[in-house]
């Protein structure tokens, strides 16, 4: 695993726990974790159960005893690491968004396509696809329970940047992160809506805004939760992203991604409306969905709550008795299950790098629309 911060902890949890609850066709062994700081990397290795550490990602790519490379670094390093690993014959899992630019994502998708001819697999870490309630929502759409999909609304709301004196971290620097709320959490909304509906965004119209344009610099060697210095630096990414979209099935969508919605910690919500029904989901109630059946008798109409914990739902039977809730970390175990199964079966795990490239093109189109003050911008090549 390359990187060991927030996402490194989440991925480590997935690698550790999945083989203990699921009957995996291949057994992962957590050989090597890589980080720039030898002390913090060693601490992460001890905490999460990695056998060895390194300070250069090339070691993971070059070693013969490494079969999988899991990339959880900032976006500016994704392309170089992933392409090198794929060319070295390593299966690659890469956190979202796939890259910082469309050009980088295109190179990564091309490398993945070439590697797949040799049986080398790759996947983007849009982990929320592995929430059982989201999988169930997709199944209802596929079964035609919503009829013709007409309208979508998705919003991802956080508030961790509302303090204007919070320090300038890498997530607020375009050269490191690629974008702000748009790529960090807006990418999740885009991928999830397309996953559930089976439709793709073909054009978008959006506005991006940086509400706090400069912040205190972090002191030397101080991490995300450290103290800030008296010097200040420019915020070069968006704080808020608002956009509309047209889908290839004729549906319309409205989206919001913000890290400035006061009081909202991790509120990822979507609602999908069709001619025969509707679905509503809220990540803060991630074990359930609300389903509206428009074909029911008038006296029975209304959204009804469905608890998605029955063992017939995907992944659930490996965990706890019905009604015992799953949490944020379980999606990372499900991600490991799907990735290892695809490697064993010789199939393409999803979402693929090509799907990650599509999301990157949507992000780029939104940014161009905002920059150009354009009514509509296409998401195609």
Do residue 272 and residue 161 come from a single domain?
yes
Please give the model's pTM, rounded to 2 decimal places. Answer: 0.95
Separation between Cα atoms, residue 378 and residue 262, nearest integer Å: 32
Looking at the domain assignment, is residue 358 inside a domain? Answer: no
The enclosing domain of 14 has a CATH number of 3.40.50.720
Question: Over 90: is that where the pLDDT of 225 sits?
Answer: no
Do residue 161 and residue 232 come from a single domain?
yes
Asked if 168 contacts 235 with a C-beta cutoff of 8 angstroms, the reply is: yes
Quick one: which of 245, 154, 251 has its CA closest to 202? 245
Do residue 79 and residue 171 come from a single domain?
no
Question: Over 70: is that where the pLDDT of 228 sits?
Answer: no
Do residue 84 and residue 139 come from a single domain?
no
Which of 128, 146, 178 marks a domain boundary? 128
Do residue 176 and residue 321 come from a single domain?
yes
pLDDT tens digits, one per residue of 73-99: 999 999 999 999 999 999 999 999 999
Looking at the domain assignment, is residue 92 inside a domain? Answer: yes
Question: Over 70: is that where the pLDDT of 229 sits?
Answer: no
Do residue 190 and residue 302 come from a single domain?
yes
Cβ partners under 8 Å of residue 64, min gap 6:
none
Alpha-carbon Rg for the chain, nearest whole angstrom, is 21
Average pLDDT, the chain: 95
Do residue 34 and residue 178 come from a single domain?
no
| CA quadruple 335, 341, 343, 349: dihedral sign | negative
Mean pLDDT in residue range 230-250: 96
pLDDT tier at 219 (50, 70, 90 boundaries)? low
pLDDT tier at 223 (50, 70, 90 boundaries)? very low
Looking at the domain assignment, is residue 261 inside a domain? Answer: yes
Domains identified in the chain, total number? 2
Do residue 304 and residue 155 come from a single domain?
yes
At 226 the pLDDT is 52
Which of 128, 150, 177 marks a domain boundary? 128
Do residue 169 and residue 117 come from a single domain?
no
pLDDT tens digits, one per residue of 28-74: 999 999 999 999 999 999 999 999 999 999 999 999 999 999 999 99
Which of 98, 128, 158 marks a domain boundary? 128
Do residue 274 and residue 321 come from a single domain?
yes
Do residue 258 and residue 184 come from a single domain?
yes
Looking at the domain assignment, is residue 193 inside a domain? Answer: yes
pLDDT tier at 379 (50, 70, 90 boundaries)? very high
Looking at the domain assignment, is residue 341 inside a domain? Answer: no
At 222 the pLDDT is 40
Looking at the domain assignment, is residue 220 inside a domain? Answer: yes
Q: Is the model more confident about 224 or about 329?
A: 329
Separation between Cα atoms, residue 374 and residue 370, nearest integer Å: 7
Question: Over 70: is that where the pLDDT of 326 sits?
Answer: yes
At 374 the pLDDT is 84
Looking at the domain assignment, is residue 234 inside a domain? Answer: yes
If phi over 0 gives left and psi between -120 and 50 gives alpha, with beta otherwise, what is residue 198? left
Q: How far is CA 99 from the centre of its chain?
A: 12
Mean pLDDT in residue range 99-104: 97
pLDDT tier at 227 (50, 70, 90 boundaries)? low
Mean pLDDT in residue range 231-249: 97
pLDDT tens digits, one per residue of 106-159: 999 999 999 999 999 999 999 999 999 999 999 999 999 999 999 999 999 999
SS3 track for the chain: CECCCHHHHHHHHHHHHHHHHCCCCCCCCCCEEECCCHHHHHHHHHHHCCCEEECCHHHHHHCCCCCEEEECCCHHHHHHHHHHHHHCCCEEEEECCCCCCHHHHHHHHHHHHHHHCCCCCEEEECHHHHCHHHHHHHHHHHCCCCCCEEEEEEEEECCCCCCCCCCECHHHCHHHHCCCHHHHHHHHHHHHHHHHHCCCEEEEEEEEECCCCEEEEECCCCCCCCCEEEEEEECCCCCEEEEEEEECCCCEEEEEEECCCCCCCCEEEEEEEECCEEEEEEHHHCCEEEEEECCCCHHHCCCEEEECCCCCCCCHHHCCCCCCCCCCCHHHHHHHHHHHHHHHHCCCCCCCHHHHHHHHHHHHHHHHHHHHCCCCEECCC
- What is the percentage of the chain residues whose pLDDT exceeds 70? 97
Looking at the domain assignment, is residue 257 inside a domain? Answer: yes
Question: Over 90: is that where the pLDDT of 171 sits?
Answer: yes
Do residue 105 and residue 142 come from a single domain?
no
Q: Which two tokens stand for residue 82?
A: 């992933």
Domain boundaries, position 297: 132-285+287-326
The enclosing domain of 181 has a CATH number of 3.30.360.10
pLDDT tier at 199 (50, 70, 90 boundaries)? very high
């Amino acid at each position: 695993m390359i990187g060991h911060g927030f996402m490194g902890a989440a991925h480590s949890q997935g690698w550790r726990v999945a083989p203990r609850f699921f009957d995996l066709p291949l057994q992962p062994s957590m050989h090597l974790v890589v980080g720039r700081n030898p002390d913090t990397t060693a601490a992460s290795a001890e905490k999460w159960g990695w056998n060895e550490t390194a300070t250069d990602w090339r070691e993971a790519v070059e070693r013969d005893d490494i079969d999988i490379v899991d990339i959880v670094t900032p976006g500016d390093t994704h392309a170089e690491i992933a392409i090198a690993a794929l060319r070295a014959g390593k299966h690659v899992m890469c956190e979202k968004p796939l890259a910082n630019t469309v050009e980088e994502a295109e190179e990564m998708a091309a490398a993945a396509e070439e590697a797949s001819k040799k049986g080398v697999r790759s996947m983007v870490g849009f982990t929320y696809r592995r929430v059982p309630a989201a999988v169930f929502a997709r199944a209802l759409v596929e079964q035609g329970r919503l009829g013709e999909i007409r309208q979508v609304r998705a919003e991802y709301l956080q508030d961790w940047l509302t303090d204007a004196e919070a320090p300038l971290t890498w997530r607020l620097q375009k050269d490191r992160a690629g974008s702000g709320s748009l790529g960090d959490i807006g990418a999740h909304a885009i991928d999830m809506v397309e996953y559930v509906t089976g439709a793709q965004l073909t054009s978008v119209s959006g506005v991006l805004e940086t509400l706090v344009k400069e912040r205190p610099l972090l002191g030397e060697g101080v991490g995300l939760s450290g103290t800030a210095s008296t010097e200040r630096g420019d915020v070069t990414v968006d704080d808020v992203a608002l956009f509309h979209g047209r889908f290839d099935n004729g549906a319309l969508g409205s989206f919001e991604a913000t890290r400035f919605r006061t009081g909202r910690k991790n509120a990822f919500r979507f609602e999908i409306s069709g001619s025969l029904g509707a679905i509503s989901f809220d990540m803060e109630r991630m074990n359930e969905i609300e389903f509206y059946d428009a074909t029911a008798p008038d006296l029975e109409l209304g959204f009804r709550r469905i608890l998605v914990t029955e063992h017939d739902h995907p992944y659930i039977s490996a965990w706890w008795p019905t009604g015992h809730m799953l949490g944020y970390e379980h999606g990372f175990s499900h991600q490991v299950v799907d990735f290892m199964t695809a490697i064993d079966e010789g199939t393409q795990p999803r979402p693929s790098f090509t799907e990650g490239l599509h999301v990157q093109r949507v992000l780029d189109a939104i940014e161009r629309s905002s920059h150009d003050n354009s009514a509509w911008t296409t998401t195609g090549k």
